[in-house]
Amino acid sequence: MTLPTRRFTLTVAALLLAGAGHAAPEQREGVDVGKNSAFTKLAPAEEVERMALQQYRQQLSAAAEKRALAPADHPQLKRLRAIAQRIIPHALSWNPRARDWQWEVNLIGSKQINAYCMPGGKIAFYTGILDQLQLTDDEVAMVMGHEIAHALREHARERMGKSAVTEGVARVGGAVLSAWLGIDPRVTDGVARGGANLAVLSFSRSDETEADLVGMELAARAGYDPRAGVTLWQKMAAASKGAPPQWLSTHPAGKTRIAEIEQNLPKVMPLYERARKTRVQ
């Protein structure tokens, strides 16, 4: 690394640390996961969401060609959309951009145990995760909340921002100038391209834990029992049989995340009980 490059990288690191050092958010009811990573500032949200929409459309088109895209009257798709309709209103407070997202939920016929929510609110479930695990509505809500949380917390942008930092001065410089100083956004194209396939993007274990907790809160606020997170991951562990399915490939170990969920249940159970009573009334 040349001296000028090293100096610039250190400058970027200092800026990111400064952004991360803001005062903690106000106390709120529910889980506490802090602010979004400062690395998200290195990847423009508009470009990431545009890329996500393009990839989502391509995947739906490919599924339709194989007659694997569920029609609107498919019972499982109707079920998924009904669950999403209850969860999404509670997602909006986590990210101001989410209020303008064109949310979609689709079902793809595949044996894969998989589901995702791309930036911009583009959700897809595979029939494998529903059929093989025989998920209850509460467990589906936990999966859906988890995937929505990735989008709300902008983990894809965070990964792209971190890639920009590690891939060299030119890309980092362009991203910083565009995101923070208003320079020509075309210089950030490289950052957006670094996102690869957003449907199978691997997140860090800390991101996965964060998504578990935020997703659990979203499900609880929507009136779904957050204790289903425990049974969900028990089913996931049983399905892995020594080789974790794609959806679990980068996730924390089942016992670890179950312990984390159980530790945080007292923070979300009151939200669930309140939502459940409201729905009964």
Which residues are designated catalytic? Answer: 147
Count the neighbouring beta carbons within 10 Å of the beta carbon of residue 56. 23
DSSP classification of residue 107: E
Contact criterion met (CB below 8 Å) for 53 and 120: yes
Distance CA 19, CA 41 (A): 10
Beta bridge partners of 118: 122
Characterise 134 by phi-psi region: left (phi > 0), alpha (psi -120 to 50), beta (else). left
The structure tokens 């459309």 sit at: 57
Phi then psi dihedrals of residue 276, to 5 deg: -65, -40
Give the tokens for residue 120: 């911009």
CA dihedral 90, 94, 98, 103 (to 10 degrees): -40
Contact criterion met (CB below 8 Å) for 161 and 195: no
DSSP classification of residue 97: G
Beta bridge partners of 117: 123
**Helices (H), strands (E): how many in the chain?**
11, 3
Contact criterion met (CB below 8 Å) for 49 and 160: no
Amino acid at 226: P
Give the tokens for residue 67: 């007659």
- Residue 49: CA atoms inside 13 Å, Cβ hemisphere, count? 16
